[in-house]
């Protein structure tokens, strides 16, 4: 399998990259980790005129938690986040997704920003960022736009991103005490996209759930924001009954089809099960 | 487009089409055919190489992306006429059959051992889970990598004395 | 035999490290895609997106106009050279490039030859083909019923979609035993379509030299000699001018036995263009067009007496062959060796019928890590026996023991006509149960059940038939299934062994040298093993169906013995003793009762420098071995699983495999073969299959959908062995490459079914996906309410 012809530029600063985007418009395409784009090129599902390689942009792969904000550079690699001490100790939903996406080799290259921009409804980061109520920062020459994660992803492989924009950063509120999160993914084998994934973030205050974030993977035409499930949870004390009720609220928005991963009933059942398990796990962490 | 890529310590400057995959650069331009191709969807890892020390799939990486970088392939494992311990242990533990996945497996194994010299069975399995082997059932690949780790530790302990 | 002496020779029974590894571990293997010739061109194949459609027009003009494109070949071009169709290994025909219509998605329609593979791919996109869709048949039952749409309209007199009908066994007696049975157990199951998917795909470099007329064809081939002959027959090239070279093969598993259209087109293109042409399949081409396996729908029945004695078996098979009947299997046996389905059990009669269907799917029917449908056979009987145990309230162990062919019954003539050479099934099962700690495991299972956990133990005690085969019964496309070895001992006592079989990872360069070492006392490191080059090796049918050791290995042992006999004459001459006074001692001849001896190396030197009067000089020879019988490896596998009742996911907790493959030449290599086979068995049982949607689209045409387990999912295996030598094989070996793929799927599936048995789940189809398990649990629960 061989990609079609294209030109290639490798800017070394954000300004250069934004200039290149402005110049090439819809004929240009950013390449980050290339772990979605190159397979698409090989299958000839994509045929951009120019690839703009952002791997040489400095400082795009940083992670920081400062002044109440958690920031991820768009070029953070899946593995980097999966192994990051801050994630493995505090933001488990990130660490867990970071080690469940694809396989170790893909994770060494694939980036957070690339995954969000690719907007595969079976991809994992979108759900995580929905659960964290993250903001996605899009920049173009002379302008910056910001979107909530749920809003950013519009549908299968489509986002709010304009042709001349680049995602530079993803950020969310840093967690204070009482935060617990989890990511559960059913995959048939390593390297498989999700049959179902649940991203959950909870904050407990005085024994009740003060805030809840729930994102769902592979349950519809995009990563779903399970708002009703969140509503069920907020203001309540964690309990098995509550989690079951939230699970039903999540199942209610799932729109799934039969394929080799299973029937719709089966997929909804997995979602139900994972919601309950994922909530319990997150709540336990929040209480720890 | 002209690229300068260091492969196994030697620097090569070549003119390539931007669309050329790194695996083809290595195999066709440099004649380093130890890096293999086993699929077209980035699922098998037969094409694994190390770029600046990081294992990745050279079929899902453009040669131009490697410009100015350092690439290590299976051909670079043997140094100064001496096999790398991981090569010796793959043979000793029968970690290969048809040999097609082996270059990738050894490179991933090497990268793992640099971070974790004494991995458990499950840690090795996790690390090599981007690489498919159709012949061995992985049992002896895991053993090979673990045995190499033990020997490397023993050797560096010896050297330290 | 002194152990120290034997160690130096390191013959049979030693885990000699493999010599072939030396090149593989440094990246210096020479696989097909590594072959690079001057002026070499690259071919890409244009394939049908539709499963069944007439070809209305093909426009190659845009493709031809692209810079770097040398030629575009269509079926019409091949027709002019009578190459548009080729024979299959089953005596059917197969389109090389479609002329009239396409019959499956992915079928070869045109080929682009260009200066680089990138340009060939660019041009392939530019070939414009207009199709007119036809009715599509993906269900073999529906295809068989239908007489309106004839998939093989090219075949004269073909008025339906029946590829063949076949039967074996004794119908009358079987019917009678069923009529008299106290109990009948039935199972309808599908052994799904699968693909060997070796990590290296198929490919060739065809180099037809316009000046000399010599065609050198580098081919990923498991059977280079047979391929040379088929090339001669298909392409009409004189056979002395064809040289097939099979370089290092990156796994075969049956995929690399047939001849594929790509090889024929590349060869024709090379002939026409007078330049070498390379064609290497992509993975999706591999999975969608070359060499599928299985796809057997089976209706099995056992007749039993009330005490659990099996009296008879019935099995009907509806087999789905896709668009062309291209099974690679012995001519006489249309359904392969599936009549080994009586397995390890002594019964009075069996009747097996098979009906093959043409459908709009890829052709193939290769023996995927299996001796011609033995996998399917083993699966149905091992599933049926477990069901019988449940239905009669016996333990799966007890029912097996009761019905096993007993040790003293060998050689045993089965009711379908096989003569099992040797076996000790009880010993093998005992060993597996002991390794497992069966009683404790069963107690653990019952305790788990009491807690509402779903734990299960599954057993399979299989018997294989491998090593085809004696020339009276076995041939492929007319070629008898003997095999050969040529051994040349050089003056310095080093040797070259040349084989008709071909390694794809089994380690022949090491293990066959060990056979010579065993018989002739030359250490393996002093023996170079050659294979895979038809100009330089004796004729043989190749490596598949676990036949290398039974046939090629036997030929090697026999020729080594013949040379030893000759060396003995030389030794007598050198020692001035009579032959009768000499004794062979691992690597030397000793004059009985003295310490006078000459080594085999001394004899070799003398063969060239000082041969006895009247004796032909040299120490070389060839042997063609026609096996008297097949060999019958067997084993007992036990699997412990736990099922997650909420998600249907199941995990293998233990996997114990006891194999008896007769004498083990290189135990390390044998264990490696078993590990690989157990993994592929697990893959079949759990995730790996190809299916087609109603429109004939292949689902499983890449590694996104065709799931191959990684190290994370693959169970950790515990191996054990028993050794029951084959009485007719020169060194008692039986062949082992496939036992584990054959025997293990039923063990895994039986284990999951055992876990679900308390719920009343009776059947699960492979692959046993978590979704299927969950659905089965729901259905059983609903039925119980
Ligand atoms: C074998 C395999 C298995 C996989 N399994 C999973 C899985 O289980 N779960 C999962 O989530 N993903 C999976 N992926 C996809 C993988 O995670 C990709 O890495 C990811 O989707 C894309 O990230 P990337 O950095 O590689 O982006 P690229 O492939 O480089 O780009 C993807 C798209 O995003 C655009 N883009 C990239 N970065 C930016 C940016 N900063 N600003 C604007 N646009 C940008 C590109 O133009 C392109 O359209 C798998 C991939 C492979 C090959
Ligand atoms: S060739 Fe399969 S992952 Fe690169
Ligand atoms: S040794 Fe053959 S694929 Fe791993």
What band does C546 get if pLDDT is binned at 50, 70 and 90?
confident
Number of the ligand closest to the Cα of A99: 1
**Which stretches does DSSP call E strand in chain B?**
2-7, 10-15, 48-51, 54-57, 70-72
pLDDT score, position C502: 85
Distances (CA, A) of C415 to C223, C341, C419: 32, 10, 9
Question: Would you state the pLDDT for residue C468?
Answer: 87
Structure confidence at residue C477 as a pLDDT band (50, 70, 90): confident
* Interface B-C: count of C-beta contacts within 8 A: 177
First to last CA, chain B: 50
**Would you kindly state where each structural domain of chain B is located, as residue ranges?**
2-76, 85-160
* Residues C575 and C519 reside in one and the same domain: yes
Q: Is A287 helix (H, G, I), strand (E, B) or coil?
A: helix
Number of domains in chain C: 2
CATH of domain B85-160: 1.10.150.120
CATH number where A269 lies? 3.30.390.50
For an interface test with A, the pick among C771, C773, C779 (most A C-beta atoms closer than 10 Å) comes out as: C771
Using alpha carbons, select from C673, C669, C658 the residue that is nearest to residue C724. Answer: C658
* B115: nearest Cα among A33, A79, A55, A88: A79
Q: What is the pLDDT of residues A184-197, one digit of tens each?
A: 999 999 999 999 99
Question: Which atom number of ligand 1 is nearest to the Cα of residue A117?
Answer: 34
A186 within domain boundaries: yes
- Ligand with smallest separation from the Cα of B45: 2
Distances (CA, A) of A148 to A32, A126, A129, C571: 21, 11, 9, 90
Residues C541-552, mean pLDDT to the nearest whole number: 85
Ligand 1 centroid, distance to C451 Cα (angstroms): 44
* Residue A169 and residue A188 share a domain: no
Domain B2-76, architecture per CATH: Roll (3.10)
Q: Give the per-residue SS3 of C72-126.
A: EEEHHHHHHCCCCEEECCCCCEEECCCCCEECCCCCEEEEEEECCHHHHHHHHCC
Choose one of A1, A18, A35 to mutate for the ligand 1 pocket test, by most ligand atoms within 8 angstroms of C-beta.
A35
* Active site residues per annotation of C: 222, 369-370, 738
> Quick one: CA dihedral B30, B35, B38, B43, positive or negative?
negative
**Test mutation, C647, C652, C766, C782, chain A, max A CBs within 10 A:** C647
Nearest chain C residue to B101 by CA distance is C199
Report the number of distinct structural domains present in chain A: 3
Under DSSP, is residue A35 helix (H, G, I), strand (E, B) or coil?
coil
Could you tell me if the CB of A118 is within 6 A of ligand 1? Answer: yes
Ligand 2 and B132: CB distance under 6 A: no
% of residues, chain C, pLDDT over 90? 91
Return d(Cα C442, Cα B151) in angstroms, integer. Answer: 41
Query: CA A186 to CA A196: how far, in whole Å?
Result: 5
Q: Which two structure tokens, joined as six digits, stand for C308?
A: 């659990």
Torsion sign across C-alpha atoms A122, A123, A128, A134:
negative
**What confidence tens digit (pLDDT) does each residue in A51-68 have?**
999 999 999 999 999 999
Of B39, B100, B135, nearest to C31 by CB-CB distance is B100
Greatest alpha-carbon pair distance for chain C in Å reads: 92
Which ligand 1 atom minimizes the distance to the CA of A75? Answer: 41
Q: Considering the domain boundaries, does residue C342 fall inside one?
A: no
Rg (chain A; Cα; Å)? 19
Answer whether residue A65 is part of any domain.
Answer: no
Is C158 in contact with C324 (CB distance < 8 Å)?
A: no
Mean pLDDT of chain C: 95
Of all residues in chain A, the one with the smallest CA distance to B48 is A105
- pLDDT score, position C329: 83
C126 Cα to chain A: minimum distance (Å): 12
The answer to whether residues A93 and A128 touch, using CB atoms and an 8 Å cutoff, is: yes
Within 8 A by CB and 6+ apart from C565, the residues are none
Atom from ligand 2 closest to the CA of residue B130: 3
Range C681-705 average pLDDT: 97
- Rounded to whole angstroms, the maximal C-alpha distance in chain A is 60
Q: Is the CB of A39 under 6 A from ligand 1?
A: yes
Atom number, ligand 3, closest to the C-alpha of residue B96: 1
Query: Does an H or E element contain C226, and which?
Result: helix C224-235
Q: How far apart are CA C201 and CA B159, in angstroms?
A: 44
Separation of alpha carbons A279 and A273, rounded Å: 10
Residue C61 vs residues C100, C128, C262, C561: alpha-carbon distances, Å:
20, 9, 22, 63
Of ligand 3's listed atoms, the one at least distance from the Cα of B141 is: 4
- Whether residues C580 and C596 share a domain: the answer is yes
Q: Please tell me whether residues C717 and C614 are part of one structural domain.
A: no
Question: pLDDT per residue over C347-389, tens digit each?
Answer: 999 999 999 999 999 998 898 998 899 999 999 999 999 999 9
Q: Picking from A14-28, A218-232, C335-349, C471-485, which range would have the lowest pLDDT averaged per residue?
A: C471-485
- In chain B, what is the greatest distance between 2 CA atoms, to the nearest angstrom? 51
Tell whether A268 and A253 lie within a shared domain. Answer: yes
Residues of B within 8 A of C28 (CB-CB) are: 34, 75
Ligand 3, atom 4: closest residue by C-alpha: B133
Q: Which of C595, C625, C655 is the last residue of a domain?
A: C625
Q: Is residue C391 classed exposed, middle or buried when 0-12, 13-18 and 19+ CB atoms within 10 A define those classes?
A: middle
Residues A125 and A202 occupy one common structural domain: no
Query: Hey, are the CB atoms on B56 and A109 less than 8 Å from each other?
Result: yes
Q: Is residue B134 within 6 Å of ligand 3 at its C-beta?
A: yes
Ligand with an atom nearest the CA of residue C679: 3
ipTM, two decimals, is 0.98
How does pLDDT run across C404-425, given as a tens digit for each residue? 999 999 999 999 999 999 999 9
Q: What is the mean pLDDT of residues C726-740?
A: 94
pLDDT of C693 above 70: yes
Q: Is A32 in the pocket of ligand 1 (CB under 6 A)?
A: yes
Q: Smallest Cα–Cα separation from B97: which of C674, A104, C498, C664?
A: C674
Give yes or no for residue B124 CB within 6 A of ligand 2. no
The pair of structure tokens assigned to C428 is 């093998």
How many CB atoms are closer than 10 A to CB C117? Answer: 20
Residue C525 has pLDDT above 90, yes or no: yes
B44 within ligand 3 shell (Cβ under 6 A) = no
By the 10 Å C-beta count (0-12 exposed, 13-18 middle, 19+ buried), C147 is classed as: exposed
**Residue B111: pLDDT above 80?**
yes
d(CA C584, CA C518): 12
Task: CATH number of the domain at C564, please.
Answer: 3.30.365.10
Cα dihedral C554/C555/C558/C560 (nearest 10): -110
Domain-located, residue A37: yes
Q: What is the mean pLDDT of residues C304-308?
A: 97
String of DSSP letters for C323-384: TS----S-TT-TTTTGGGTTTTB--SEEEEEEEEE--SS--B---TTSSSSHHHHHHHHHHH
Q: Is A268 within the bounds of a domain?
A: yes
**Mean pLDDT confidence for C284-301:** 97
Q: DSSP states of C660-696 as a string?
A: E-BS-S-HHHHHHHHHHHHHHHHHHHHT---EE-TT-
Determine the distance in angstroms separating the CA of C156 from the nearest CA of chain A, rounded to an integer.
39
Residue appearing with tokens 């098998």? B44
- DSSP assignment of C460-528 equals EEEE--BS---TTT-EETTEE--EEEEEEE-TTS-EEEEESS--SSS-HHHHHHHHHHHHH---GGGEE
Q: How far is CA C206 from CA A84, C72, C636, C676, in A?
A: 52, 16, 45, 32
Q: What residue numbers bound the domain in which A279 lies? A: 179-283
Angle between helices B139-160 and B102-115 (to 10 degrees): 40
Residues A74 and A20 in one domain: no
Task: Check whether residue C657 and residue C784 sit in a common domain.
Answer: yes
pTM of the model: 0.97
What residues have CB less than 8 Å from C782, skipping those under 6 apart? none
Give the C-alpha separation, A32 to A55, whole Å.
6
Who contacts A142 (Cβ-Cβ below 8 Å, separation ≥6)?
A: none
- Sequence-separated (6 or more) residues with CB below 8 Å from residue A24: A49, A50, A52
User: Looking at the predicted structure, is the pLDDT value of residue C6 above 60?
Assistant: no
Of C27, C250, C703, the CB nearest to B73: C27
CA angle B20, B24, B30 (to 5 degrees): 115
Kindly identify which residue of chain B lies nearest to residue A5, measuring between CA atoms: B19
C636 lies in the same domain as C679: yes
Chain A residues touching C125 at Cβ < 8 A: 44
In a domain, A58, yes or no: no
| A196 lies in the same domain as A277 | yes
Does B136 contact ligand 3 (Cβ within 6 A)? Answer: yes
pLDDT at residue C729, as a whole number: 95
- Over its C-alpha atoms, chain C yields an Rg (Å, rounded) of 27
CA–CA dist C153, C608 (Å, integer): 63
On the CB side of C689, CA atoms within 13 Å amount to: 21
Structural domain of C664: 423-466+631-785
Is C490 among the domain residues? yes
Q: Say if CB C456 and CB C762 are below 8 A apart.
A: no
CATH code for the domain of A18: 3.30.43.10
Domain limit, last residue, from C592, C625, C658: C625
User: What pLDDT is attached to residue C542?
Assistant: 85
Residues C494, C522: contact at Cβ < 8 Å? yes
Q: Which chain C residue's Cα is nearest to B78? A: C26
Q: Are C513 and C579 within one domain?
A: yes
User: Is the pLDDT reported for residue A114 higher than 60?
Assistant: yes
> Alpha-carbon distance A250 to A62, whole Å?
33
For C165-210, how does the pLDDT look when each residue is reduced to its tens digit (9 = 90+)?
Answer: 999 999 999 999 999 999 999 999 999 999 999 999 999 999 999 9
Residue A86 lies in a domain: yes
Among the partner-chain residues B33, B40, B75, the one whose CB lies closest to the CB of C284 is B40
- Distance between CA atoms of residues C484 and C538, nearest Å: 6
Whether cis (ω within 30° of 0) applies to the bond prior to C411 is yes
The answer on pLDDT for C1 being more than 50 is no
Taking CA atoms, A195 is separated from A190, A198, A218, C472, in Å, by 12, 10, 6, 53
How many angstroms separate the CA of residue A220 from the nearest CA in chain B? 24
Final residue in a domain of this structure, among C574, C601, C625: C625
Task: pLDDT band for A1, please (50, 70, 90 cuts).
Answer: confident
Pairing of strands C108-114, C69-74: antiparallel
Element (H, E) at A184: strand A179-186
The answer to whether residues A150 and A98 belong to one domain is: yes
Asked whether residue C718 falls in the same domain as residue C758, the answer is yes
Residue B48 with chain A: CB contacts under 8 Å: 105
With 70 as the cut, is the pLDDT of residue A239 above it? yes
Please state, in angstroms and rounded to a whole number, the distance separating the CA atoms of residues A201 and A178. 11
Whether C676 and C707 share a structural domain: yes
Q: Is residue A2 part of a domain?
A: no
From A122, A150, A173, the end of a domain falls on: A173
Task: Tell me which chain C residues have a C-beta less than 8 angstroms from the C-beta of A275.
Answer: none
What percent of chain C lies above the pLDDT cut of 70?
Answer: 99
Eight-state DSSP code of residue B124:
H
- B-side interface with A, Cβ within 8 Å? 1, 17-19, 21, 40-43, 45, 48, 54-57, 59-62, 64-65, 67, 108, 126-131
Say if residue C735 is in the same domain as residue C701.
yes
In 3D space, the residue among C108, C124, C130 whose CA is nearest the CA of residue C53 turns out to be: C130
> Are both A161 and A99 inside the same structural domain?
yes
Strand order of the β-sheet with B10-15 is: B10-15, B2-7, B70-72, B48-51, B54-57
Residues C753 and C637 occupy one common structural domain: yes
Q: Contact, C144 vs C161, CB < 8 A?
A: yes
Q: How far is CA C771 from CA A27, A258, A270, B118, C67, in A?
A: 42, 10, 9, 37, 50
Neighbours of chain C (3+ CB pairs under 8 A): A, B
Could you tell me if the CB of A199 is within 6 A of ligand 1?
Answer: no
For B100, the token pair is 């097609």
């Amino acid at each position: 399998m061989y990609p079609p012809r294209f030109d290639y530029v490798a800017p070394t600063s954000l300004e250069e990259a934004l200039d290149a985007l402005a110049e090439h418009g819809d004929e240009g395409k950013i390449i980050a980790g290339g772990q979605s784009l190159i397979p698409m090129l090989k299958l000839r599902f994509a045929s951009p005129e120019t690839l703009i390689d952002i791997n040489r942009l400095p400082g795009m792969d940083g992670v920081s938690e400062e002044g109440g904000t958690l920031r991820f550079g768009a070029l953070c690699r899946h593995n980097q986040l999966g192994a990051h001490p801050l994630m493995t100790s505090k933001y488990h939903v990130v660490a867990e997704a970071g080690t469940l996406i694809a396989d170790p080799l893909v994770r060494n290259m694939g980036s957070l920003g690339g995954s969000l921009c690719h907007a595969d409804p079976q991809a994992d980061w979108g759900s995580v960022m929905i659960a964290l109520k993250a903001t996605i920062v899009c920049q173009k020459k002379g302008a910056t736009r910001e979107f909530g994660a749920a809003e950013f992803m519009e549908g299968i492989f489509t986002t709010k991103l304009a042709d001349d924009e680049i995602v530079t950063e993803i950020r969310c509120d840093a967690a204070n005490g009482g935060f617990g999160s989890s990511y559960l993914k059913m995959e048939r084998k390593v390297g498989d996209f999700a049959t179902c994934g649940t991203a959950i973030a909870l904050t407990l205050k005085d024994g009740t759930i003060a805030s809840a974030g729930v994102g769902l993977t592979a349950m519809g035409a995009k990563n779903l924001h399970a708002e009703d499930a969140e509503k069920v949870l907020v203001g309540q004390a964690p309990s098995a009954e509550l989690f079951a009720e939230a699970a039903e609220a999540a199942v209610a928005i799932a729109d799934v089809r039969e394929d080799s991963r299973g029937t719709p009933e089966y997929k909804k059942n997995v979602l139900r099960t994972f919601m309950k398990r994922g909530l319990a796990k997150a709540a336990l962490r929040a209480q720890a | 487009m002209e690229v300068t890529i260091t492969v196994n310590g030697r620097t090569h400057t070549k003119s390539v089409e931007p669309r050329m995959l790194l695996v083809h650069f290595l195999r066709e331009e440099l004649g380093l055919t130890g890096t293999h191709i086993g699929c077209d969807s980035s699922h098998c890892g037969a094409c694994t190489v190390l770029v600046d020390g990081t294992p990745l799939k050279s079929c899902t990486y453009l040669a131009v992306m490697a410009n100015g970088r350092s690439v290590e392939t299976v051909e670079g494992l043997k140094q100064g006429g001496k096999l790398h311990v991981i090569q010796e242990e793959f043979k000793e533990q029968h970690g290969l059959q048809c040999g097609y996945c082996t270059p990738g497996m050894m490179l991933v194994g090497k990268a793992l051992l640099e971070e974790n010299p004494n991995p458990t069975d499950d840690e090795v399995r996790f690390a090599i889970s981007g690489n498919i082997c159709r012949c061995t059932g992985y049992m002896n690949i895991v053993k090979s990598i673990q045995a190499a780790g033990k020997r490397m530790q023993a050797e560096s302990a010896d050297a330290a004395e | 035999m002194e152990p120290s002496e034997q160690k130096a020779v390191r013959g049979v029974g030693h885990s000699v490290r493999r010599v072939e590894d030396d090149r593989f571990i440094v990246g210096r293997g020479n696989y097909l895609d590594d072959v690079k010739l001057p002026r070499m061109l690259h071919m890409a194949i244009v394939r049908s997106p539709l499963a069944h459609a007439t070809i209305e027009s093909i426009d190659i003009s845009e493709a031809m106009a692209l810079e770097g494109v040398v030629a575009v070949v269509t079926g019409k071009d091949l027709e002019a050279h009578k190459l548009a169709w080729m024979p299959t290994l089953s005596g059917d025909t197969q389109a090389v490039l479609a002329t009239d219509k396409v019959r499956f998605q992915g079928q070869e329609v045109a080929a682009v030859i260009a200066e680089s593979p990138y340009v060939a791919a660019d041009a392939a996109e530019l070939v414009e083909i207009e199709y007119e869709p036809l009715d599509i048949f993906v269900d073999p039952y529906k295809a068989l019923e239908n007489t309106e749409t004839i998939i093989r309209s090219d075949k004269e007199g073909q008025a339906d979609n029946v590829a063949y009908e076949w039967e074996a066994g004794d119908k009358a007696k079987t019917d009678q035993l069923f009529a008299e049975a106290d109990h009948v157990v039935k199972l309808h199951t599908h052994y799904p379509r699968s693909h060997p998917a070796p990590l290296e795909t198929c490919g060739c470099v065809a180099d037809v030299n316009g000046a000399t007329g010599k065609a050198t064809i580098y081919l990923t081939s498991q059977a280079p000699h047979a391929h040379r002959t088929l090339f001669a027959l298909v392409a009409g090239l004189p056979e002395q001018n064809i040289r097939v070279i099979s370089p290092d093969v990156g796994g075969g598993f049956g995929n690399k036995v047939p001849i594929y259209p790509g090889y024929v087109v590349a060869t024709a293109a090379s002939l026409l263009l007078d330049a070498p042409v390379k064609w290497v399949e992509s993975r999706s081409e591999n999975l969608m067009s070359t060499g599928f396996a299985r796809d057997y729908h089976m209706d099995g029945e056992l007749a039993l007496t009330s005490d659990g004695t099996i009296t008879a078996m019935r099995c009907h098979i509806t087999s789905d062959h896709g668009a062309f009947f291209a099974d690679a299997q012995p001519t006489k046996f249309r359904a392969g060796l599936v009549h080994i389905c009586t397995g390890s059990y002594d019964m009075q009669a069996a009747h097996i019928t098979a009906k093959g269907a043409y459908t709009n799917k890829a052709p193939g029917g290769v023996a995927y890590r299996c001796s011609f449908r033995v996998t399917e056979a083993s699966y149905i009987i091992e599933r049926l026996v477990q069901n019988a145990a449940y239905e009669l309230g016996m333990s799966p162990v007890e029912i097996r023991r009761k019905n096993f062919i007993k040790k003293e019954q060998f050689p045993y003539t089965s009711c379908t006509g096989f003569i099992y050479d040797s076996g000790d099934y009880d010993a093998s099962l005992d060993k597996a149960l002991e390794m497992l700690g069966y009683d404790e495991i069963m107690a653990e299972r019952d305790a788990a059940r009491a807690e509402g956990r779903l734990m299960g133990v599954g057993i399979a005690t299989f018997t294989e038939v491998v090593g085809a085969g004696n020339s009276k019964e076995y041939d492929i496309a007319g070629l008898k299934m003997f095999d050969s070895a040529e051994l040349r001992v050089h003056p310095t006592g080093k040797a070259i062994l040349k084989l008709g079989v071909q390694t794809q990872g089994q380690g022949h360069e090491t293990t066959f040298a060990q056979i010579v070492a065993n018989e002739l006392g030359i250490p393996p490191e002093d023996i170079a093993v050659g294979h895979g080059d038809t100009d330089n090796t004796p004729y043989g049918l190749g490596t598949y169906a676990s036949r290398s050791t039974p046939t090629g290995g036997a030929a090697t042992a026999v020729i080594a013995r013949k040379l030893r006999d000759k060396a003995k004459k030389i030794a007598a001459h050198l020692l001035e003793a009579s032959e009768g006074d000499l004794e062979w001692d691992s690597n030397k001849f000793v004059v009985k009762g003295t310490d006078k001896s000459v080594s085999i190396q001394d004899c070799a030197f003398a063969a060239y420098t000082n041969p006895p009067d009247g004796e032909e000089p040299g120490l070389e020879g060839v042997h063609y071995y026609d096996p008297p019988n097949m060999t019958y490896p067997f084993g007992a596998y036990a699997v412990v699983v736990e099922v997650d009742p909420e998600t249907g996911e199941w995990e293998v907790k233990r996997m114990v495999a006891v194999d008896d493959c007769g004498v083990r030449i290189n135990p390390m290599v044998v264990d490696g073969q078993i590990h690989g086979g157990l993994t592929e068995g697990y893959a079949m049982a759990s995730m790996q299959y190809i299916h087609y949607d109603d429109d004939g689209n292949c689902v499983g045409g890449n590694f996104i959908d065709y799931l191959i387990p990684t190290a994370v999912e693959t169970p950790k295996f515990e191996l054990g062995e028993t050794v029951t030598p084959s009485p007719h094989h020169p060194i008692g070996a039986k062949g082992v490459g496939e036992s584990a793929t054959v025997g293990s799927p039923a063990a895994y599936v039986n284990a999951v079914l055992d876990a679900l048995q308390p719920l009343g789940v009776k059947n699960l189809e492979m692959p046993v996906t978590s979704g299927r398990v969950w659905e089965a649990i729901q259905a059983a629960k609903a039925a119980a309410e």
